[in-house]
Structure 1
Amino acid sequence: MSDILTTLIQRLDENTGKFSRLDRYYTGQPPLAFLAPEAKEALGNRFGVLGSNLCRLAVTALSERLRVTGFTGADVWADWIRNDLDQLAPVAHREALTLGSAFVIVWADEQGRPTITVEDARQVAVIRDPASREIVAGVKRWTDATHTHAVLYGPDTIVRYRAQGTDAASGYAVMETLENPLGVVPVVELVNTDRLNAPGMSEMRDLLPLQDSLNKLLADLMVGSEYYARPRRWATGVELVEDEDGEVANPFPENNRMMISEDPASKFGSLPAADLSAYDAAIKVVVQQMQALSGLPDHYVGISASQPPSADALRAAEASLTARAEQRQQIFGRAWEQVARLVVAVRTGVDPSTVDVRITWADPATRSIAQEADAVVKLYTAGLLPATYALKRLGYGDDEIAEIRAASRTEAVDRAAAGLVGQVAA
């Protein structure tokens, strides 16, 4: 086994614990941290994993605003659609925002057509040149029922390995070696980072301790509502009873609606219910901190006013979230442009570095359709925007624009033909 393969396999293994922890928070199954043993005993198994999963909301709120609408400079949209990237690109964005990284591998199928696959960061690792920060080697590892497979991607060769067992860390044997005509590693990483040399960071990283605090407060609220929010009854001057084991027991079970006693000196009463408003205030403080770190507006976390907000008010409230989405577009856009270059290189055989391509994104801001359409129509009528660009401003993708233009041409031909028929008849 080569030294590069060993290094890459070790990188995959060392991130297993971190990715497993992030997965638990994304799926809403984090441990109940900060919870006292007495509260855990009181909860028992009745509430299970209790929490409000704002970590996942922080990821999905960003990813739903990252929609690729096309590319300029190179014709790659047909390959994009054929490889289901219109559906899988959002998955790649969610993976990168959750785990810090996601990967895309570009190669050719049996007919020589480009294939684009979105890969999990738990299966793929790369090595970068410390000077240029370009990927110089990559590996994908997966297991089946009996073997562990690995593919080592280099700029010159692609080597397939296989090892016995489903958890092999060594013992890989070379199964196949292929030439790499692209001259570059066909692995692209979507890194969720805003720094040059920092590794990808999960969008949930800063929210994890606050999510633990929120879950703890919600669990405390449930314990308080179970044991202290209901008024508790008390009685004095009542003879206690013993059970079969000789233990003293309450003569009045909890489900009894009436308590009676023959002793005239007996007294009955009830304790006041506990006020749980303090939990509400504490939960709001934690949620506000999570909003400050994630950019989530009030209406995303269930804080609503009596009067529904207007479209302009919504845009203003979502300004921070929109800015974060625009920043992710810039970060992920470079990776998708590299994918487009590799697609062109696979299809035509050119050097990927010579391909000039730019990605286009849908507007991440919440739009009022009527206001947006009115503004675009005015710009188009004034001659400031061509029809194609006006349709892009309205959020249509390249394939939709092509269909619209084809339909418009067909209708124009039909109208012209109808006019000729009318002239002949006259």
Structure 2
Amino acid sequence: MTAYTFPQTIQGMNDQESDAYRRLLTKLQRKAIRNRIRTAYYDGKNQLKDIGYSLPPVAKDIEMVVGWPRKTVEALANRVVLDGITTQDGSELSRLVLDLMDANDLKQTAENAHTDALVHSCSFVATFQGNTSMGEPEAVIQEFPADCATGTWNRRTHGLSEALMFDVDDDGYTTQVLGGYLMLPNVMLSYSNDGGSWRVTERVPHEGRIHCELIAYMPDSKRPFGRSRIDRTVMSLTDSAVRTFLRSEIQAELYSVPPRYILGADEELFTDENGNHIPRWKVMLDQLLIIPKSNNGDQQMPQVGQFAQYSFEPHAAQLRQTALMFAAATNVPPDAMGVLTSNPSSAEAIDKAVKELCLAAESCQRRFAPAWERTIMTAQQLAGTDGAVQVRTQWRNPATPSRAAAADAAVKLVGAGILPPDSDVTYDMLDLSDEQRRTLRMEARRNQARAYLANLANNNQESTGGEAHVSTAAEPTSQPEASTGNPAQ
């Protein structure tokens, strides 16, 4: 995997900015090797680690890929899904904010950031002022993996105080550094390659927190930048599985061929007519083994025998054991690794592994949510949105319950009066998308308007009906008085 070549100096920086740049660049390069190794494991491009005696030399030329590291990352990443955003007071988001999130493809950006964080232990999400004349949105939300970005963690503000990021172009074969950004407590610098020399192209002052957030997996006080999901245990077990697959692949041709032996054979029996040695594999795979009779009558005929046929079971047993150890380390069910066992995982074992994954996903949601909420608030401010609203993130249920089970639980809580039917909590339980939530709110407002108009109509009808009733009651009393003019009647 090709390493990035970052510039060592940037023209146009003052002494303080240059010191910060060199310090952060040294930190980035120090972590680059481990980041490349984890990326190689995730992409299935890790090199074979031979322990010296278990594999023949020819095995080094065989490319064997075991996708367990990608499986352990995707198993958790698929349960940490940012489903949308909503306001903290329950009001509807403005169309400008929704358009801003759609223009930045927030859900896909979040998915990329979460996957990079699980691979490298962290990723970085920065917010910039957009150039609308170039077709950009008013605020740009961009994600940077840890192999081309780093920062300094401030324990007092629980955020980044400095950040260094590079725009790179990596197609898997060649890499190119296009530009970068240096964010300091009071200024943000943009730099690029101008005619062979790197120089500052833009300097934007700001106040408060820098416009960059850290997405870290399993951080703590000693390691605020988190830990990689592809840790040393995962890499070691993956190497063991690769060696097991290679040994079984090399010996696969021997499983169907019974090993034979010949006693008292002359070396000439294993040479062709030109005097060259017949390859061992050809002798072993010959279905008909012909031994010519010796001209020397005193010499005994060679004796041919057969050993017990090779078995694949030792390799399969070792692979099953490795898969079980991998499952215990990553909380991924053993069946998900594609290893068949004589006793498949029970429902209780699978449920226990899924619960562990759900707990890890809930922990990720709790840690990732504040960073995304601050990012969205910063994007509103940079876009010049009037009255930026406080938002909260909506996450898909990591347990992924069925629609029927989720609906049944919601109906019971609504029926018991614990939840209102049109609450965001109810919508969260039903795992409704942003579009579905907006549609339901529009229909609710439409029904409320219809009910209000119907109520006005009923009140007006009752009022009109009451007046007609009074006039009708007065008419019979007036007619007899008009007809009393005839005394005889």
Instruction: Answer whether TM exceeds 0.5 for this pair.
Output: yes
8 Å CA contact 1:229, 1:276 repeated in 2: no
SS at match of 1:366: coil
SS at match of 2:289: coil
**Counterpart in 1 of 2:249?**
222
**Counterpart in 2 of 1:157?**
187
How far apart are 1:128 and its partner, in Å?
A: 2.7
SS at match of 1:161: strand
Distance 1:37 1:307, change over 3 A: closer
Task: Report the Cα distance in structure 1 between the residues aligned to 2:192 and 2:184, rounded to whole angstroms.
Answer: 17
Residue type at the aligned position of 1:193 = M
Task: Report the Cα distance in structure 1 between the residues aligned to 2:402 and 2:98, rounded to whole angstroms.
Answer: 28
Residue type at the aligned position of 2:25 = I
Q: Does 1:242 align with 2:248?
A: no
**Counterpart in 1 of 2:218?**
193
SS at match of 1:318: helix
Task: Report the Cα distance in structure 1 between the residues aligned to 2:218 and 2:311, rounded to whole angstroms.
Answer: 44
The aligned runs of 1:62-141 (5 Å cut-off) are: 62-69=76-83, 70-73=85-88, 75=93, 76-111=97-132, 113-129=138-154, 131-141=156-166
Deviation per CA, 1:70-95, whole angstroms, max 9, x where unpaired? 23328455432331011221111000
**Counterpart in 1 of 2:381?**
345
**Counterpart in 1 of 2:403?**
369
How far apart are 1:41 and its partner, in Å?
A: 1.7
How far apart are 1:228 and its partner, in Å?
A: 6.1
How far apart are 1:26 and its partner, in Å?
A: 0.4
Task: Report the Cα distance in structure 2 between the residues aligned to 1:165 and 1:226, rounded to whole angstroms.
Answer: 59
Task: Report the Cα distance in structure 2 between the residues aligned to 1:291 and 1:344, rounded to whole angstroms.
Answer: 43
Task: Report the Cα distance in structure 2 between the residues aligned to 1:262 and 1:155, rounded to whole angstroms.
Answer: 89
**Counterpart in 2 of 1:59?**
73
Task: Report the Cα distance in structure 2 between the residues aligned to 1:126 and 1:40, rounded to whole angstroms.
Answer: 45
TM-score, normalised by the number of residues in structure 1: 0.82
**Counterpart in 1 of 2:289?**
259
**Counterpart in 2 of 1:19?**
35
8 Å CA contact 1:103, 1:189 repeated in 2: yes
Distance 1:255 1:308, change over 3 A: closer
How far apart are 1:278 and its partner, in Å?
A: 2.3
SS at match of 2:66: coil
**Counterpart in 2 of 1:173?**
199
8 Å CA contact 2:76, 2:357 repeated in 1: yes
Q: Does 1:207 align with 2:234?
A: yes
Distance 1:391 1:73, change over 3 A: closer
Task: Report the Cα distance in structure 1 between the residues aligned to 2:80 and 2:242, rounded to whole angstroms.
Answer: 29
How far apart are 1:114 and its partner, in Å?
A: 2.4
Distance 1:298 1:412, change over 3 A: farther
Deviation per CA, 1:283-341, whole angstroms, max 9, x where unpaired? 2222222212211123423457889977x885444111111111111121221122122
**Counterpart in 2 of 1:276?**
312
How far apart are 1:379 and its partner, in Å?
A: 2.1
Distance 1:409 1:333, change over 3 A: closer
Deviation per CA, 1:365-403, whole angstroms, max 9, x where unpaired? 131322222221222233332334323211112232112
Deviation per CA, 1:116-141, whole angstroms, max 9, x where unpaired? 11222222221233544432222222
Task: Report the Cα distance in structure 1 between the residues aligned to 2:176 and 2:41, rounded to whole angstroms.
Answer: 31
How far apart are 1:147 and its partner, in Å?
A: 7.2
8 Å CA contact 1:77, 1:398 repeated in 2: no
Task: Report the Cα distance in structure 2 between the residues aligned to 1:282 and 1:147, rounded to whole angstroms.
Answer: 44
Q: Which has the larger radius of gyration?
A: 2
Task: Report the Cα distance in structure 2 between the residues aligned to 1:187 and 1:102, rounded to whole angstroms.
Answer: 10
Distance 1:249 1:403, change over 3 A: same
Q: How many residues align?
A: 409
SS at match of 1:15: helix
Residue type at the aligned position of 1:149 = G
Out of 271, 291, 297, the position equivalent to 2:327 is 291
Distance 1:244 1:23, change over 3 A: farther
**Counterpart in 2 of 1:33?**
49
Structure 2 gap segments, 5+ residues each: 1-12, 170-174, 295-300, 458-489
Deviation per CA, 1:251-272, whole angstroms, max 9, x where unpaired? 9744532223442934433322
Q: Does 1:399 align with 2:435?
A: yes
SS at match of 1:341: helix
Deviation per CA, 1:2-31, whole angstroms, max 9, x where unpaired? 111121222222222111100111011222
Over the aligned positions, Cα root-mean-square deviation in angstroms equals 3.6
SS at match of 1:91: helix
SS at match of 1:249: coil
Task: Report the Cα distance in structure 2 between the residues aligned to 1:305 and 1:416, rounded to whole angstroms.
Answer: 67
- Out of 263-272 and 10-19, give the one that drifted further: 263-272
SS at match of 1:39: coil
